[in-house]
Amino acid sequence: MNFHKKVTHTYSLFIAVAMMALTTAVTGQAQVSTEEPTLQVLTLEQAVDLALKNNKQLQMQANNSEVAQNNVYLGNAGFLPTVNLMGSGEYSSSSQELSIRTFQPEPPVLTFDEDGVKSKKAAVLIQADYVVISGLARKYSYSILKKKSTLENLKQEIAINETIVAVTGMFTQIASLQSREELLQETILVTTDRLAKIEDRKAFGQATGLDILKAKTYLNQDQSSLDEVALNKTNRIKQLNRWIGLPLDTLYRVNINYLLPEEADPKQVIANVKENNPNIKLAQSGVNIAEDQLGLAQSNLFPKLKVFANYGYAYQENDLQQLAELQNRGYTVGASLQYNIFNGSKTKREIQNATINIESQKIYSQDIEDQITTEALQELNTLAILRNQLEREMDNLDTFEETFNRTQERYSNGQATSLDLRDTQTALFNARVQVNDIKLKMVNSGMRLESLTGQLIKEDAENETIK
């Protein structure tokens, strides 16, 4: 089975929904090829596509779904007759003693005692069996098979959801570290330039050795921070490579742009969660299967009628018996009716346990619905807070940029110290990092919300939950 082809067909709307209508538009400046040892640019869309192709857990779940679908056929539920061809043969050589008497008033007894008596038997039979009445057992068995197939499809959807969310989370972590790395490189350039200027000023007696020492210390701190960020980024790239099936040593830049999500109506979000969330549908499928299992247990209360028909040939030969040879060919038809009167209360207990299981599944289903709904509302609150934070941090960023530019100008005129410049530089760096991190958090939160509302993946109609 071509797993990726199946996923691409079944979930064809994923890219449009997740990458455009949700939170992030990812630029496709470079095509990803797993044949190249190093990639220049990797987009979120490409990372997700590779994960869907190469994730082993998804491949195994796809196989489970295919097996469950293959099990859905009438014969597996007992709706079709069975036909068997049977044959037997026997040969024996033994010592036999045979006593016979005639039909006279006082018949004499004739005794035959022979050694090495040979006997041959052979038979061949073809028989068809069919269950006419099963007490609705076949109906419930077939319904369970269909719902188990739906259940496996839902598990596959959940696995794909989790994979996409996990890949997005790791991808945005890499994007955050990459942004920090670039900002630190900018900071190092500024710090290096400032060190050169201080050294020039010292030559004219306008700076001291302590000023140079401080500038070198700041530079070393920035370089150490850069090394740490680069190491963390490389480690996360290796982790992402393992998830998406690339060689672990493959290096690349991630490329992501932002389209911030619009505010959503909480009532509509809750409605989408209850209607489309695969975890909720999975729990409801458990209730539906439990109800069918109750019906299957109750079917044992009803009689069962079976019919059969066969056609066969039998041959028998014996050296000692009066019938030296016997051949028989012909057909037989028959029926059997079975009705259980008492089986040690087994059926009664099965019905009781099935009823309890339904109640447990309903409780579990309601708990899952409450849990998922709560998580969706939490994501809505998170997005609202992040949206407000982003607005404030954008204002702060403008302020810090203006402050840094003014301090840099004052420093050039000798009106500010290197410590003043360093403080404004650090504040500007932190503000840029904060803005970028908030945007990435919104991407992650929005993706999780889409997953919870069941909008991340659009299934084909054939995979809808069986009511």
Q: What is the pLDDT of residue 74?
A: 94
Contacts 24+ apart (CB under 8 A), 171-176: 171/44, 171/47, 171/240, 171/254, 171/256, 172/256, 172/440, 172/441, 172/443, 172/444, 173/236, 173/440, 174/233, 174/236, 174/237, 174/240, 174/254, 175/254, 175/256, 175/440, 176/433, 176/436, 176/437, 176/440
Residues of the chain short of pLDDT 70, as ranges, are 1-39, 96-104, 110, 112-114, 117, 257-259, 319-324, 458-467
What is the Cα–Cα distance from 34 to 247, expressed in whole angstroms? 8
pLDDT confidence of residue 10: 39
Place of tokens 């067909």: 9
List of residues 6+ apart from 18 with CB closer than 8 A: 48, 164, 447, 450, 456
pLDDT number for residue 204:
84
Question: What superfamily would CATH give domain 60-78+134-225+262-302+342-463?
Answer: Outer membrane efflux proteins (OEP) (1.20.1600.10)
pLDDT per residue as tens digits for the range 307-344: 999 999 998 887 655 556 778 899 999 999 999 999 99
Burial, 264: exposed, middle or buried (Cβ in 10 Å; 0-12, 13-18, 19+)? middle
DSSP string, 160-215: HHHHHHHHHHHHHHHHHHHHHHHHHHHHHHHHHHHHHHHHHHHHTTSS-HHHHHHH
Going from the C-alpha of 462 to that of each of 9, 75, 151, 465, the distances in angstroms are 12, 21, 13, 9
- Residue 252 contacts residue 239 (beta carbons within 8 Å): no
What is the model's pTM? 0.79
Cα–Cα distance between 377 and 254 in angstroms, integer? 30
- What is the predicted pLDDT for the residue at 92? 80
Q: Which residues pair with 120 in a beta bridge?
A: 91, 317
- DSSP E strands: which ranges in 12-170? 41-43, 82-101, 109-133
Edge-first strand listing for the sheet containing 325-338: 82-101, 109-133, 304-318, 325-338
Residue type, 356: I
Strand partners, 338: 304
Question: For position 464, what pLDDT does the model report?
Answer: 40
The end-to-end CA distance of the chain, in Å, is 28
pLDDT of the residue at 259: 67
Q: Where are the domains of the chain?
A: 60-78+134-225+262-302+342-463, 83-132+304-338
Q: Give the CB-side neighbour count of residue 386, counting CA atoms within 13 A.
A: 23
Q: CATH topology of 60-78+134-225+262-302+342-463 equal to that of 83-132+304-338?
A: no
Measure the CA–CA gap between 226 and 237, rounded to whole angstroms: 16
CATH ID of 83-132+304-338, from 1.10.3470, 1.25.40, 1.10.260, 2.20.200: 2.20.200
Query: What percentage of the chain's residues is helix, strand, coil (to nearest 5)?
Result: 60, 15, 20
Q: Provide the Cα torsion 234, 193, 405, 184; round to 10°.
A: 10
User: What is the pLDDT at residue 466?
Assistant: 34
Kindly report the length of the chain. Answer: 467
Helices (H), 204-265: 209-244
